[in-house]
Amino acid sequence: MKEKERGVPSDLARKTLSGKKDAHEDMSSFSELPTVKPDAAFTLLAAYKTDTSSNKVDLCPGFYRDENGRPWILSSVIQAKERIHADPKVNHEHLPLAGHTELLRQSKELVFGKEDRDLKRVASIQTVSGTGANHLAALFLSTKLNPKTVWFPNLGWINHTAIWKLAGSHVQQRFYPYFNGENQIIDFDAMVEVLREAQKGDVIVLHACAHNPTGVDLSKEQWNTLATICKNTGLFPVFDLAYQGLASGDVRQDASAISDFFDRGNLEFVVAQSYSKNFGLYGERIGILHIAALDVTAAAKITPALTQLSRAEITSCPSYGARIISQILGDLKLYDQWLEDLATMHNRMKTMRESLYHGLLVRKVRGSWDHILTDTGMFSMTGLSTTQVTAMKEKHHIYLLPSGRISVTGLTTRNIDHVVTALEDILGTY
């Protein structure tokens, strides 16, 4: 007679009756997941918010702050929102798969210029801000071009490598020389020497302007040399354009490297465009991915391929921020106001750079500081070690990234003396 028929309990029943279970029964499927290190920038931001010191200063994030250290809503954005809210035809339907149609056209013109340029050979799609544009670019290039290597600057945005690790894990990551920390300049000769050894089909990630984290940009002559190297070696450039209008204060100047590459007519490349910083629309997550092809036929094939990838990930991008930006770019009055808003942000950052530089010089703080005046955009390197960065936080309640990068948007007329005094204490004087 079988055990079940004789009333003998099964193995499962025995365990239930005895109250005993196998050791692995209560183990989570995710127990073996490796511990992930918290994001350095956002961890510091959280620590700053809980700091109760009246002298605390946040020099970490790449967010624009006004003279009171608060987020600033651009005047052009306020006016555009009023128009949108007053329009009874505006609804909450999702955008087309490629994104806001008018914004796509306007974005091409903003990046590449519209005078005598065949923008039909540029394929564009809306993304979830600049991060999404970089991610979609990495996913597209790693699967369609199958590069062996992707090259990053030796100091760059930390999220670039993380994005490529996820989207193109089979692509080897290497770094090219960029920043000379001792002289606070670009080590261009070393950069050229390394990149000339790159293989055809390799991808190179470039910061179009306001280099993050150094604030040091290539000159026009250096960009021309780099374009020639890309053509001769077969390197495929990916431009990260996150700060257009905030580097020099001129939107055309800040995109000049991109338009120069495009005008050559013999280079294909990617542009990951973000509208977070130059419109102050951080939370709206509006970006555009552009791929410049050699001809219209190729561009026509790229757009559906990008749409297919985006459809599988998010289907459709946010509409509200896209409408705001399109409203501004499509109206001459609002566009002029936006240029004034850019000037306001650029000039305040320039003033803070000058105040910091002169404060350090007056107190004879040890270090090389001339670069603070020539760096562009929000960031500069201080040369502080990780130990010194920690001391700045613990002794003076001043927060900056472990790399020693500062964001000058965190400086105000009220806190700049405190920052200079802290640097004097940590670094000493001559």
The number of folded domains in the chain is 2
19 pLDDT band, cuts 50/70/90, is: low
pLDDT at 177: 97
The CATH number that applies at residue 107 is: 3.40.640.10
Q: Are residues 96 and 310 in contact, defined by beta-carbon separation less than 8 angstroms?
A: no
pLDDT at 20: 55
Domain region containing 244: 94-330
Last residue of some domain: 306, 330, 354? 330
292 and 350 together in one domain:
no
144 and 242 together in one domain:
yes
Mean pLDDT for the stretch of residues 263-288: 97
Residue 337 lies in a domain: no
pLDDT digits (tens, 9 = 90+) for 303-352: 999 999 999 999 999 999 999 999 999 999 999 999 999 999 999 999 99
pLDDT at 362 exceeding the cut of 80: yes
Residue 252 lies in a domain: yes
Mean pLDDT for the stretch of residues 352-372: 97
101 and 138 together in one domain:
yes
Mean pLDDT for the stretch of residues 357-379: 97
Residue 341 lies in a domain: no
pLDDT at 12 exceeding the cut of 80: no
pLDDT at 114: 85
Residue 5 lies in a domain: no
271 and 392 together in one domain:
no
String of DSSP letters for 262-294: HHHSS--EEEEEE-HHHHT-GGG-EEEEEEE-S
pLDDT at 11: 57
Q: Are residues 398 and 422 in contact, defined by beta-carbon separation less than 8 angstroms?
A: yes
pLDDT at 269 exceeding the cut of 80: yes
Task: Give me 61's structure tokens.
Answer: 């994030």
Q: Give the C-alpha separation, 275 to 99, whole Å.
A: 14
**Contacts by 85-93, CB closer than 8 A, 24 or more apart:** 90/323, 92/319, 93/319
Task: Give me 337's structure tokens.
Answer: 């106001």
pLDDT at 21 exceeding the cut of 80: no
Q: Is 364 helix (H, G, I), strand (E, B) or coil?
A: coil
324 and 372 together in one domain:
no
108: Cβ contacts below 8 Å, ≥ 6 apart: 114, 119, 122, 124, 290
Mean pLDDT for the stretch of residues 101-119: 93
103 and 134 together in one domain:
yes
pLDDT at 9: 56
pLDDT at 316: 95
pLDDT at 7: 54
15 pLDDT band, cuts 50/70/90, is: low
Residue 261 lies in a domain: yes
Catalytic residue among 58, 108, 151, 157: 157
Is residue 66 part of the annotated active site? The answer reads: no
Task: Give me 187's structure tokens.
Answer: 């080590």
> Which residues sit opposite 239 in a β-bridge?
206, 271
Catalytic residue among 58, 187, 217, 240: 240
Last residue of some domain: 330, 356, 380? 330
Mean pLDDT for the stretch of residues 238-259: 97
Q: Is 169 helix (H, G, I), strand (E, B) or coil?
A: coil
C-alpha closest to that of 398 among 371, 426, 378 = 426
C-alpha distances (whole Å) from 128 to each of 321, 355, 411 are 11, 36, 29
Q: Give the C-alpha separation, 195 to 191, whole Å.
A: 6
pLDDT at 24: 57
pLDDT at 117: 84
C-alpha closest to that of 167 among 313, 29, 269, 318 = 313
Q: Any idea which of 16-30, 68-82, 125-139 has the lowest mean pLDDT? A: 16-30
Q: Are residues 255 and 220 in contact, defined by beta-carbon separation less than 8 angstroms?
A: no
60 and 106 together in one domain:
no
pLDDT at 116 exceeding the cut of 80: no
Q: Tokens 């179009």 belong to which residue?
A: 208
pLDDT at 17 exceeding the cut of 70: no
pLDDT at 99 exceeding the cut of 80: yes
pLDDT at 14: 53
Q: Give the C-alpha separation, 334 to 428, whole Å.
A: 48
295 pLDDT band, cuts 50/70/90, is: very high
133 and 228 together in one domain:
yes
Mean pLDDT for the stretch of residues 354-377: 97
Query: Which tops the pLDDT comparison, 14 or 52?
Result: 52
382 and 246 together in one domain:
no
Residue 79 lies in a domain: no
Mean pLDDT for the stretch of residues 15-30: 66
Last residue of some domain: 283, 304, 330? 330
13 pLDDT band, cuts 50/70/90, is: low
> Which residues sit opposite 186 in a β-bridge?
179
Cis peptide before 213 (omega within 30 of 0): yes
302 and 255 together in one domain:
yes
160 and 258 together in one domain:
yes
pLDDT at 363 exceeding the cut of 90: yes
Residue 242 lies in a domain: yes
Mean pLDDT for the stretch of residues 171-178: 98
| Residue 88 CB coordination number (10 Å) | 6
User: What are the backbone angles phi and psi of residue 359, rounded to the nearest 5°?
Assistant: -65, -40
Task: Give me 281's structure tokens.
Answer: 């629309």
Catalytic residue among 277, 341, 375, 393: 277
Percent of the chain residues past pLDDT 70, beyond the cut:
94
6 pLDDT band, cuts 50/70/90, is: low
pLDDT at 18 exceeding the cut of 60: no
Is residue 164 part of the annotated active site? The answer reads: no
If you average pLDDT over every residue of the chain, what do you get?
94
The CATH number that applies at residue 402 is: 3.90.1150.10
359 and 248 together in one domain:
no
Residue 34 lies in a domain: no
232 pLDDT band, cuts 50/70/90, is: very high
Task: Give me 400's structure tokens.
Answer: 């900056």
